[in-house]
Structure 1
Amino acid sequence: MLYSSPGKGAVSAVQILFLDFDGVMHPEFCHESKHFVHQDNFETVMRAAPHVDLVISSTWRHKRSLDELKALFTADVRARIVGATPLYAQLDEVPDTLQGYEREAECRAWLRQHGRAAQEWLAVDDRSWNFRPFNPNVFLVDGEVGLDADSAAKLAARIHGAVA
């Protein structure tokens, strides 16, 4: 899918979104009573982007099954979760260029494993050091805040091909 971005011409829209939880869906290190405080913001963005598949990249996948992770979302968004990234320690091969960038290596491994490496993707995360510097496929969120309304608006623009 292509969208026009003012002054930028046609750019590809995101087709796959990798989602972190801590620092995105809620502030990092918050009390569990505050977990998923930004769920409404995230799900509103996703409802406006029905072409986007979701993949869980959060460390929550270490201790919970995919079904348990999906259950955290409303039915319409849950239906668009197509998987979770493999764990870095279990990757058979990590290219030299991705050594030390664990989350990016996991995202790219998932894309390769599912035949989607050529598709436009975006990782929503709060930790820049998990990705190569200046990676255009990363949407960084302030981990102390999470995906507040302002960040959600910027994410929506980025998903549709606008530079946010």
Structure 2
Amino acid sequence: MLIFVNTECLTSLADADDGQGGLPGFEAVLQAWPQLRVVLADERRHWTTIDRLRAPFSAPLHGRILGTTPIYGALAQSRPGREDEILDWLRQADAEDADWLAIDDRAEEFHTHAQRLLACRRFGAAEAAELHGRLHRRALRREAVVRSILPLRPGMPLGV
């Protein structure tokens, strides 16, 4: 599963020293869900390196940050919205079927996939709990699909 995150949501929390919000809270979610991979959807990608964008994260998590959403050149006809940036990244990565969520403060830029957005200006304890809940519900749905195609009795062939 992929999480597209605008890191401004993680760093704008002034009272994040309780470990529940901001970057520490987001990292706690990542540690609880080791299958998650992160793509940074951050305006700073236009003028800094991926290494600098990764730097605030704990070193063990650096390998789970896959990159950034696309950088559009000065010749781009229009600036795409965040949802479009994510969809472009998925196409370029040949991952259009991947399950994903976004954490961003630009709710108005999500249309078709608004249900995948956790809209926030500040990633606090409530947002961390909401993200855990969404991940848990997604995991349960996938488990239910897998169970529905499993045989009813040991040794019974699939599809019977």
TM-score relative to the length of structure 2: 0.73
Match of 1:81 in 2: 65
| 1:139 corresponds to 2:118 | yes
Aligned residue type for 1:153: A
Aligned residue type for 1:19: V
Match of 2:82 in 1: 103
1:55 to 34, 39, 57: 39
8 Å Cα contact 2:82-2:106 kept in structure 1: no
Name which structure has the greater RCO, CA cutoff 8 Å, separation 6+.
Answer: 1
| 1:124 corresponds to 2:109 | no
Aligned residue type for 1:83: G
Match of 2:130 in 1: 154
For the aligned residues, what is the CA RMSD?
2.5
Q: How far apart, CA to CA, are the structure 2 residues paired with 1:134 and 1:113?
A: 18
Q: Secondary structure at the match of 1:106?
A: helix
Higher-Rg member (1/2): 2
Q: How many residues align?
A: 132
TM-score relative to the length of structure 1: 0.71
Q: Which runs of 5+ in 1 are unaligned?
A: 1-14, 31-36, 94-98
Higher strand share: 1
1:27 to 12, 20, 41: 12
Deviation, 1:41, is 0.3
- Seq. identity, %: 31
8 Å Cα contact 2:107-2:114 kept in structure 1: no
Q: How far apart, CA to CA, are the structure 1 residues paired with 2:37 and 2:12?
A: 24
Deviation, 1:91, is 9.6
Q: How far apart, CA to CA, are the structure 2 residues paired with 1:17 and 1:110?
A: 12
Q: How far apart, CA to CA, are the structure 2 residues paired with 1:16 and 1:82?
A: 9
* Runs of 4 or more above 3 Å deviation: 88-93
Higher helix share: 2
Superposed CA offset, 1:117-138 (max 9, x none): 1010111001111211661111
